[in-house]
Structure 1
Amino acid sequence: ASAMSVILFIPSLVVFIIYSHFLREQQRGSKNLRQTQARMKKTGLYYLVLALALFFIMWLIIQYLAIFSSAITDKYKGEVYFTLDNIKDTIPHIRDSFVRSIIYSLVAGFFASLIGLVLSFYSYILKSKFIKIIDFISNMPYIVPGTFFGLGYVFAFNEEPLKLTGTVIIVILNLIFRQIPMSLRVIQSSMTQIERATLNSAKDLGAHNLYILKDMVLPMSYPGLFLSFTNAFISSMTTIGSIIFLVYPSRKLATFVLFDLASSGKYKVASVLSCVIIIVCLSVSLISHRIFNRSSKYVSTN
């Protein structure tokens, strides 16, 4: 398994290096350009892209409707009827696993966003060369396969003095560092809207970097933090590959229970579990959006 993961890692690394090169060139080319609003001309290409986008949206809607309808229906003698038995059968499977998944995902989303904010501040705002090296290393969890990432944790933390296998800590650490690359990119994108003249003025007045981060960069990065937290939470709630070797059978997460139900042919119960995961992810997204939206409004009024 390790050898196959290494083989998959090599082309991923090559593609990531090429992507990073073109991204830097694009940032250099657009560095001094002003933001402009451009409207796409409604040519044949426009309608083609619109048709593909609508087809993709309709395809997703059909998939979600199929999951929800399967959760509340059953079939008897070729006839489909409404039932709540599927929901009752799901209750024993969601008690411990769901609470565990939500707690792990909340912790992963919070710390991944916090670490992404600090690394983005030092690499993008302060232009620290040492942090740029750490920034490159921190992108490794994003470009390597999930199983490769999980195997690395098994081999690295399987012996004393860092024996963490079988514990909650190793699963949460895996989830956090798995989400850091995306958090970095999202938060750095929000930091591009910050005027450097404002930051330089604060430095000229003797402001410490800590206060610049807390009082200036953090309030202006709320949109990126919201997207980072939401993405990290949803990804952690639905992940299975990177932690498949780290979770013990007695401490299963919701996705593992869902996989077991589908493998055993209990598709109706699995559909209910999928609906619960979707509802939880949507609820956390809406709540976090309201929190960050209120915080950004409070900052703008003060």
Structure 2
Amino acid sequence: MTSTNQHIQHHTEKNQNKARLLISCTDKPGIVAAISTFLHEHGANIVESNQYTTHPDEGTFFIRIEFAASDMKEKEETFQEGFKEIAAQFHMKWRLTFLYKLKNMAIFVSKELHCLRELLYEWESGGLMADIPLVISNHKEGKELVESFGIPFYHIPASKEIRHEVEEEQLKLLKEYDIDVIVLARYMQILTPHFVSTHPSKIINIHHSFLPAFIGANPHKRAHKRGVKLIGATCHYVTDDLDEGPIIEQDVIRVDHRNHIDDLKKKGRLIERTVLNRGVKWDLEDRVIVHQNKTIVL
């Protein structure tokens, strides 16, 4: 058994009786009491709970609850159906996930492989709890690396002229592998609105600048020209507006007048891979709630 399989098996055994609730709704008295009572009545024990309420003028309530119950698999439908009454009462947006079911994550990549490497190493060591059934790329550079982890590699050349045909082929693969999360690990292609609409708030991108600065291509060149003293990277969900989706995580590193464009790119790669890894990890752990064009990370 490989180390990755051992990590997955250990995770499944450890968490077979655990689940998570992610909730957002208008703030009002009684929400936490109703949730707690429901879980207690269904034999569940709260393991972890984090909540946040926006400014009173808006008054939106967010909560993430991890709970445990014996024989969770047998109770799954009971929890799903039973909670609908509370959700309707408080007009909740909610998601219930069961931890014995690992999410299926697809990775898209182009020529630059530093973010892909980071994700694969974290996955192999048990830092990212997901199944990775495939990697899709418009170049062949990552084939040997990906297949060394025992993951199928799909080379699908892409360009603006054949974008729709390429995306149809990609979407078929995503459906075939029942993909829950798509990670663009420096996949240097713009996705169409049709593609984005098939996986709302489930496509995670890494942009090689500290957004909203230097949106689009060649941010390091423009940052160097502007003489910035900090460069960064931004992990965000993809929307139809280029590089303007809800931000999950960001970080920066200091630079100065001695650094040329290649220096900025080299330093930027260090930030990109760690920022993307954190953002993906939080998403897989159900810590991120999208609210308007922002995220609440619990």
With structure 2 as the length reference, what TM-score do the two structures score? 0.23
Q: Per chain length, whose mean CA-contact separation is higher, i.e. which structure has more relative contact order (CA < 8 Å, sep 6+)? A: 1
Q: Which has the higher strand share?
A: 2
With structure 1 as the length reference, what TM-score do the two structures score? 0.23
Greater Rg by CA: 1
